[in-house]
């Protein structure tokens, strides 16, 4: 569902400060430093890292395949996604946007 918002959640990390971010033309939601609790995607990235770390892959393609398979499994498990990234404050915030009164 299209909400009509162009928003980019930005953690301000040095590697993310290029002009490309600003060139997006989206509203920037700038997070304070060291606040992964404000960026639910960080929890998903942690889960991906846990899936692939500590293993040796013959090729980068092999590692990519593991990540892609993990993401496919995750996308078919909404409850797991909510558990990873659906903190109460997030659910309460997006609920009015996702389910506008008609």
Q: Which residue has the higher pLDDT, 33 or 102?
A: 33
Output the six-digit token pair for 55: 């293993």
Give pLDDT, residue 5: 58
pLDDT tens sequence across 48-78: 999 999 999 999 999 999 999 999 999 898 8
Kindly state the average pLDDT of the residues 27-43.
78
Q: Which residue has the higher pLDDT, 97 or 70?
A: 70
Delimit the domains of the chain by residue range.
Answer: 1-35, 40-102
Give pLDDT, residue 98: 65
């Amino acid at each position: 569902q299209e909400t009509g918002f162009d928003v980019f959640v930005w953690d301000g990390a040095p590697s993310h400060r290029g002009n490309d971010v600003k060139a997006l033309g989206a509203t920037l939601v700038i997070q304070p430093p060291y606040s992964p609790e404000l960026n639910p995607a960080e929890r998903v990235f942690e889960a991906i890292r846990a899936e692939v770390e500590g293993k040796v892959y013959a090729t980068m393609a092999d590692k990519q395949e593991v990540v892609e398979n993990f993401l496919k499994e995750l996308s078919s498990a909404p409850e797991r996604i909510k558990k990873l990234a659906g903190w109460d404050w997030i659910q309460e915030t997006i609920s009015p946007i996702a389910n506008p009164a008609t």
